[in-house]
Amino acid sequence: MKTIGIVAEYNPFHKGHAHQVRMVRETTGAEHVVAIMSGNYVQRGEPAMFNKWIRTEMALAAGVDLVLELPVAIATSSAEGFAAGAVRGLAATGVVDGLCFGSEGGELGPLDDLAALFLEEPPAYREALGRHLQEGLAFPKARAEAAREVLQAQREALEPLLHSPNNILGIEYLKALRKYRLPLEAVTIRRKGAGYHAEDPGLPFPSATAIRKHLREHGMDHSLEPMLPDTSYRLMLAHMDAWKGARVHPDMFFPFLQYRILQMDPGTMAGIQGIREGLEHRIKEKAREATSWEGLLGALQTKRYPATALSRALLHILLDLKEDRLREQMEGGGCRYLRILGFRKEAGGLLHRMKRNASLPLVSNVADSMGALKGPARSQLLEETASTEVYNLALATRLGIRGRNDFTQSLVVL
What is the set of domains in the chain, with CATH numbers? Answer: 3-104+183-196+334-413 (3.40.50.620), 108-163 (no CATH), 250-324 (no CATH)
**DSSP H or E stretch at residue 57:** helix 52-61
Report the binding-site residues.
Answer: 7-20, 102, 166, 191
Residue 152 CB partners (closer than 8 Å, separation 6+): none
CA quadruple 226, 227, 228, 233: dihedral, nearest 10:
-70
In one-letter notation, the amino acid at residue 162 is L
In the prediction, which pLDDT does 192 show? Answer: 73
Number of other CB atoms surrounding residue 125 within 10 Å:
18
**Phi and psi, residue 45, nearest 5°:** 90, 40
Residue 272's DSSP bridge partners are: 322
- Give the residue among 38, 33, 47, 85 at the shortest CA–CA distance from 256: 47
With 0-12 / 13-18 / 19 or more C-beta atoms within 10 angstroms meaning exposed / middle / buried, residue 230 is exposed
With 0-12 / 13-18 / 19 or more C-beta atoms within 10 angstroms meaning exposed / middle / buried, residue 151 is middle
Q: What sign has the CA pseudo-torsion 55, 306, 171, 120?
A: negative
In three-state secondary structure terms, 240 is helix
The DSSP secondary structure of 189-211, one letter per residue, reads EE--SS-TT---TTSSS--HHHH
Distance of CA 180 to the CA centre of its chain: 20
With 0-12 / 13-18 / 19 or more C-beta atoms within 10 angstroms meaning exposed / middle / buried, residue 109 is exposed
**What ranges in 93-164 are assigned the alpha helix state H?**
108-120, 123-134, 139-151, 155-162
Q: What is the pTM assigned to this prediction?
A: 0.94
In the prediction, which pLDDT does 153 show? Answer: 66
**Are the beta carbons of 201 and 218 closer than 8 angstroms?**
no
**Are the beta carbons of 33 and 4 closer than 8 angstroms?**
yes
In the prediction, which pLDDT does 223 show? Answer: 87
**Are the beta carbons of 69 and 40 closer than 8 angstroms?**
no
Phi-psi region of 204 (alpha: psi -120 to 50; beta: other; left: phi over 0): beta
In the prediction, which pLDDT does 161 show? Answer: 84
Q: How far, in Å, CA of 228 to CA of 17, rounded? A: 10
In the prediction, which pLDDT does 400 show? Answer: 86
Number of other CB atoms surrounding residue 161 within 10 Å:
22
How do the pLDDT tens digits run along the chain, 414 residues long?
Answer: 699 999 999 999 999 999 999 999 999 999 999 999 999 999 999 999 999 999 999 999 999 999 999 999 999 999 999 999 999 999 999 999 999 999 988 999 989 999 999 999 999 999 999 999 999 888 888 998 899 888 876 556 777 788 788 999 999 999 999 999 999 999 999 987 544 445 454 555 788 999 999 998 888 888 889 889 999 999 998 888 777 667 899 999 999 999 999 999 999 999 999 999 899 999 999 999 999 999 999 999 987 788 999 999 999 999 999 999 999 999 999 999 999 999 999 999 999 999 999 999 999 999 999 999 999 999 999 999 999 999 999 999 988 888 889 999 999 999
In three-state secondary structure terms, 145 is helix
Helices (H) and strands (E) in the chain, counts: 20, 10
In three-state secondary structure terms, 47 is strand
Q: How far, in Å, CA of 23 to CA of 5, rounded? A: 13
Q: How far, in Å, CA of 122 to CA of 18, rounded? A: 39
- Give the residue among 230, 248, 250 at the shortest CA–CA distance from 238: 230
In the prediction, which pLDDT does 196 show? Answer: 47
Q: What sign has the CA pseudo-torsion 145, 147, 149, 154?
A: negative
Report the binding-site residues for ATP.
Answer: 7-20, 102, 166, 191
Beta-strand pair 185-190/98-103:
parallel
